Amino acid sequence: MGRAIGCVVVALTGLFVLIASRPPAGHAATTSANPRRMATGVRVPRRRVTKPRPRRTATAGTLPPHLPTAVLGYLGGLHMVTPAIGWLNAGPGTIFRTTNAAHTWTKVFQSSPGTSMLAWAAPTAQTAWGVVPAATADQMQVWSTTDAGVQWHAVTLVTPWPIILVHLQVAPNGTGSVIASGQEVVSMQSTQERLWRIADNAVVTTPVYTTNNGQFLGASWTSATDGWATATSAAANDTATVLFRTTDGGHQWTSVGLPLPPSVPVPTGFSHFAPNLNLSRPPTSLGPDDGYLMARLSLSSPTSAPTTYPVLYHTTNDRTWRPLWLGPAHHILTQLQWVSGRVIWAVLSPSANSTSTRIAVSTTAGRLWTVSMAPVQSATVYDLMAVSSTRAILYVLLPMQVLKTYTTTNGGRTWQASR
């Protein structure tokens, strides 16, 4: 089952002091650490056996209670990979894991005190990633686990400039990218930028791409040489994003055009309107020649506010893209999840002119969709776990920091609160 992987990005201010534990003395850039010792940077003797400390858990239905409310409000993201197993970024530099459908949570990662989570990802039940600041402003540590959080391994990555923003994408097959951005140097959309590849669940420490005119928001890979990246436009007066493709492992990138949907609805009274496509995430690959891309289409005129539509693109040759679906107005595609190649679920979050969250399901590989209202509207949808063409579980954050689940067994027509 393939599914889209999101990423969490946290911007740092220029005055933020980056503090993190250095790798143990005598070790190379790649280190292995016990997660309960990583905050201090103390080397664990190889032959020493210690009794594991009891793991702290949360009460059913809430986020970890031992974290202060201010930290809970920070909630960096929730990602369920099966109906029972999921990961949670619920505080500065922390990652939790559940194995009982979010009833209780166990802390499996804690960075050094005072450090934030720059980006994180949890692509499978066994693998998770977190990026935290390192000792100096031009360094960051990429931590990863492949055994459900028991052991974590760190790689220290260095840039020629202070790191301001980090983008992290990791697919379930263990491929992905880390992109670090620095000071803006060309225009409002161009920055210093460096890209590292992830292969076989490990960071390749030699960067494949460094530029002073960077635009990338994320990159994904369909093979060892072929990949896609989304990027902001280099023009200072253009807020559109563009799609790039590489066939040499990320060293060179060329732009790829995206056609507009054939049934673009022109707003009433628009004599001149400017369509604008935005891509917040790189494509999701289901196979060598089967990929999907979420986009946001904005139609605007000199006299009216933009009207936003979600657009889903599809490729069958890993070269060209065609629009597959134009969704309801005033919404944005924020999540896709596949049950199979034909069954897809989607979360449609409201744009500026809407307050309703909608859930959509397709049994025709994305060509036709059934759209229904989410069970609650005054809440933040944090994740959707698709089980079949009719059954899905929705995870929402209610007031007072309560994490609640809703289940549908009829394709989203009705929802039942689980607790």
pLDDT in tens, 60-94: 444 544 433 334 455 678 899 999 999 998 777 88
CB atoms within 10 A of CB 186: 15
pTM: 0.79
For the record, the structure tokens of 240 come out as 């559109």
| Residues paired with 244 in a beta bridge | 229, 255
* pLDDT higher than threshold 90 for residue 418: no
pLDDT in tens, 37-63: 333 333 334 434 333 333 333 434 445
* pLDDT higher than threshold 50 for residue 264: yes
Report the half-sphere exposure of 25 (CA within 13 A, side-chain side).
1
Domains of the chain: which residue ranges? 1-39+57-221, 331-419
